Structure 1
Amino acid sequence: MRLGSIHWGRRMAAAALGLAVVATTAGCGGGTGGNDKVTLRFTWWGNADRAEITQKVIDLFEAENPKIKIETSYSEFDAYWEKMATQFAGGGGPDILTMDYRYIREYADRNVLAEINGVNTTKMSPNLLSSGRIDGRTYAIPVGQTTQALLYDPKVWKSAGEHAPENGWTWSDLEAGAAEVSEASGGKVRGVTSFGQIEDWFEVWLRQQGKTLYTDDGKLGYTAADLAAYWKLAERLRTSGAATQAAETTKMDGSQANSPLVKKTSAAEFNYDSGLTAASWEIYGRPLKLSTFPSSGSELGQYAKPSMLMSITRRSKHPKEAAKFVDFLLNDTKAGTIQSTSRGMPANSDVRAAVGKSLTGPPRLAYDFETALLPKLTAAPPPPPKGAGAVKAALQRVYDDVMFERSTPEKAAGEFIKEAEQAINR
């Protein structure tokens, strides 16, 4: 399972470049003819827990639509995008795929995605729907909604004699508290997982400063000085011992196996609330709690983000049937009840209300957290420009040089800005 919607990816730059050779004449056919049975390939990211849930939804759909068969496959987040880039570059790829907000424009501009028709969106928030539209055309529809959060272990924080993270905390509060947790354990458990390498968390910090990752015309919305300031914050926590160290942080790739919070070497970690599924406490090995991001001003910086979206490819010979499955996945109450919050809080308001009545455990925690926070969440920014995937990967790669002290935040930030501008302007 990808923990929430965290977008790691050390090889994303290469994967994004692979899309450049996708043929712009990808085929797009009509519906079925006669009594022929249609087979649709559906590919998504996640883990075995989500796979079991997804198969139950597919079984229900196929029972109601016996002439449509769904073949499904999945991968962890990083591996998923590498596989998609390779398949589309070779002229293949699925009929339907889960799409990430960061890569919509990248794939749409490469003529991979078809404009979606035939899916009912009347019960979805306009703020969410806008995240899948480019130049007035819908290339992706949100499955669910999520927002950024700090996931933490209350028992560890309490045993360290430190007040647990809470809404309204400042970055200074987090820095001081995390240092106390690390000291209490003798460095065996760091107060927080290092966050300097993750673009998603940098975006929240930027929004707190009144800035954005990208401007409306697709340019960088921040300077090298902004990034250097963020990296200095992350580095203070790392060098003080409050955050995880470079050797562990560099292994993070979005998988459960390499999450310090899962490994119990960290007592808090930035994440998305959609990462909490029924199996979360089993995965993490103990109950956890949620808090908003710390902020040093009046701006929270968090927004209503699509946890993931559904797209139909231009290569699909059966776009009508593909749209029918997408509509079922997003709008059928029975399907929504099966999925619960495994792909985020349902985007369809009726499905969300039905799901909310029966939630317990980790999903209930995420549901209540986001419901309480909804009035404070702003709309998601427009889909990032082409090349944003490579920019995201570059930020993580360049930050490695800062963590391992091969470069300073200022020098590394300057080099990164040059690389990022080239990526979105090529």
Structure 2
Amino acid sequence: MTLRVSRRNFVAGGAALLSLGALGAGNALAQDSRLRVLWWGSQARADRTNKVSQLYQSKNAGTSINGEFLGWGDYWPRLATQVAGRNAPDVIQMDYRYIVEYARRGALAPLEAYVPAKLKVDDFDRSQIEGGSVDGHLYGVSLGANAAATVLNASAFEECGVGLPTQATTWEEFARMGAEITRAGKRKGMYGLADGSVNEPLFENWLRQRGKALYTAEGKIAFDLDDASAWFDMWAKFRKDGVCVPPDVQALDKNDIETNTVSIGRSAASFAHSNQFVGYQAINKDKLSLTNHMRIEAASKGGHYRKPSMFFSVSAQSKAVDQAVAYIDFFVKNPEAIEILGVERGIPESVAMREVVAAKLDPQGKMALDYVAGLGDLVGKLPPPPPAGAGEAELALRSIGEQVGFEQLSPADGGKALVDEVARIVGRG
């Protein structure tokens, strides 16, 4: 059975996580030669991950690794269900927006005792170590650095005689480009842009340019009704002017590479993360390109930041914590493993491994590396880890954004609904 993300099953999973602390973490130091690894991502990521696991097994006789992957939307209900059922995988791929919640509910094992003897992260950027830390304990090892990005079908832009956007392009200018592509009609059913109103990293980037944020350092909502209403209003105008895909097309996007509107040929531009570019190009026949999110105004400061693309964490239920730590260390510090992984999960955090991968990158990997390295003044400070409930709040943006898209809510009513719902979610503590 395929699990779908809904606010109901997210909350149910969260409640189950909360009960974990009362059950206890189990014998985390018991020895076991079998490891279960769970991650989200595309088939390209799975192929690379499985090759690294095979390499690890070849160098560690007696250790077997069972890997499983799902799309983003199916991943979090599955993980919450497994944690609640005390059947969590040993190694868990963890996201920045969820790590606080899982750590504070006792689902993850602290790892700082393994540093530096068994978990050699001494040449990682300090901010990335802090990104995987909660309340003074290390719960996640960053698998790479990335930044939010705009994915462009460069071939489609060229066919329509539209130049690619640059770091100086504003949203107003980008909207004109999108409208030109839609009107050109070079490809049946293709619009200029995806509907980004439901995309949280894009919304966050836009907020940061306005001097705001998603959350305060104390875990409270950091944007207001005017911000949210203006955001939905901008996208309502884009839909009206044919700049972006209509809501029924955007609804086909299940928040993964395979169903993104660029990948299914329904838009010439969409929104993702830089590390995903390798996966996008792997399944797209057209030539793709990567650029930043647009500026609100020509003089606007950028809203980007360099973030941990994802972490590997260890389940507090694991009976093989030592082995799980050894596998993670191999994943981020073994040169052969790094050559296999490339930059599909982001630019390696280890300085030494960054040099290894830079020498072996294919054109797609090099584009992702150059993109993150070349953001310049568009990059700001990494925000604090999102509060407990941030994952549910992201679902609220998607749900309310869809309602505005289908004109079930006005932009103003959608803005109020979003602020009220996010404040309620993160206010639960």
Structure 2 residue matching 1:256: 3-state secondary structure: coil
Verify: 1:21 aligned to 2:23, yes or no: no
Give yes or no for contact 1:13–1:394 (8 Å, CA) kept in 2: no
Aligned to 1:261: 262
1:336-355 matches, within 5 Å, as 336-355=338-357
CA shift for structure 1 position 263: 1.4
CA 1:163–1:370: 2 relative to 1, 3 Å: same
Query: What runs of 5+ residues in structure 2 fail to find an aligned partner?
Result: none
Mapped contact 1:10–1:397 kept (Cα < 8 A): no
How far did 1:380 drift? 2.0
Matching residue within 359, 363, 368 for 1:361:
363
**1:267 alignment partner, SS class:** strand
Q: C-alpha separation between the residues in 2 aligned to 1:369 and 1:400?
A: 30
What is residue 177 of structure 1 aligned with on the other side? 177
Q: Distance in 2 between matches of 1:419 and 1:371?
A: 36
Once residues 64 and 251 of structure 1 are traced to their aligned partners in structure 2, the CA distance between those partners, rounded to angstroms, is: 43
Aligned 8 A contact 1:196 1:399 in 2 = yes
Give per-residue Cα distances to partners, 1:341-373, cap 9 Å, x unaligned. Answer: 121111112111110111122112111212222
| CA-CA distance at 1:182 after TM superposition | 0.7
Q: 1:335 to 1:374 in 2, by over 3 A?
A: farther
**Cα RMSD over matched residues?**
1.8
Alpha-carbon contact 2:5-2:76 (below 8 Å) kept: no
Determine the C-alpha separation between the residues in 1 that align with 2:28 and 2:63: 14
Q: How far did 1:159 drift? A: 2.7
SS of residue paired to 2:370: helix
Q: 1:374 to 1:164 in 2, by over 3 A?
A: closer
List, as ranges, runs of 4+ consecutive aligned residues in structure 1 with deviation greater than 6 Å.
Answer: none
Aligned pairs, number = 414
State whether structure 2 residue 420 is matched by structure 1 residue 418: yes
How far apart, in 2, do the equivalents of 1:16 and 1:67 lie? 39
- 1 CA distance for matches of 2:283 and 2:353? 26
Q: 2: distance between equivalents of 1:12 and 1:309?
A: 24
Change in Cα spacing, 1:258 to 1:282, as seen in structure 2 (3 Å) is: same
2:139 is equivalent to residue 144 of structure 1: no
Q: Pick closer, same or farther for the CA change 1:107–1:198 going to 2, 3 Å.
A: same
TM-score by length of 1: 0.93
2:209 aligned residue: 208
Q: Is the 8 A contact 2:13 2:84 kept in 1?
A: yes
Structure 2 residue 212 is matched with structure 1 residue 198:
no
| Aligned residue in 2 for 1:241 | 242
Instruction: Tell me the distance in 2 between the aligned counterparts of 1:67 and 1:127.
Output: 36
Work out whether 1:52 is the aligned partner of 2:47. Answer: yes
Contact 1:128-1:379 within 8 A present in 2 as well:
no
Structure 1: state its 5+ residue gaps. Answer: 1-8
How far 1:243 moved relative to its partner?
A: 0.3
Offset of residue 246 of structure 1: 0.6
Given that residues 34 and 65 in structure 2 are in contact (C-alpha distance below 8 angstroms), is that contact kept between their aligned partners in structure 1?
A: yes
How far 1:374 sits from its partner (Å)? 6.0
**SS of equivalent to 1:157:** helix
Alignment pair present for 1:372 and 2:367: no
In 1, the alpha carbon distance for the partners of 2:325 and 2:196 equals 38
Q: Distance in 1 between matches of 2:189 and 2:254?
A: 21
Deviation at 1:48, TM superposition (A): 2.3
Alignment match of 1:406 (pick from 398, 405, 408): 408
Q: CA deviation at 1:321?
A: 1.5
TM-score in terms of structure 2 length: 0.92
Q: What displacement does 1:421 show?
A: 1.5
Q: 1:325 to 1:375 in 2, by over 3 A?
A: farther
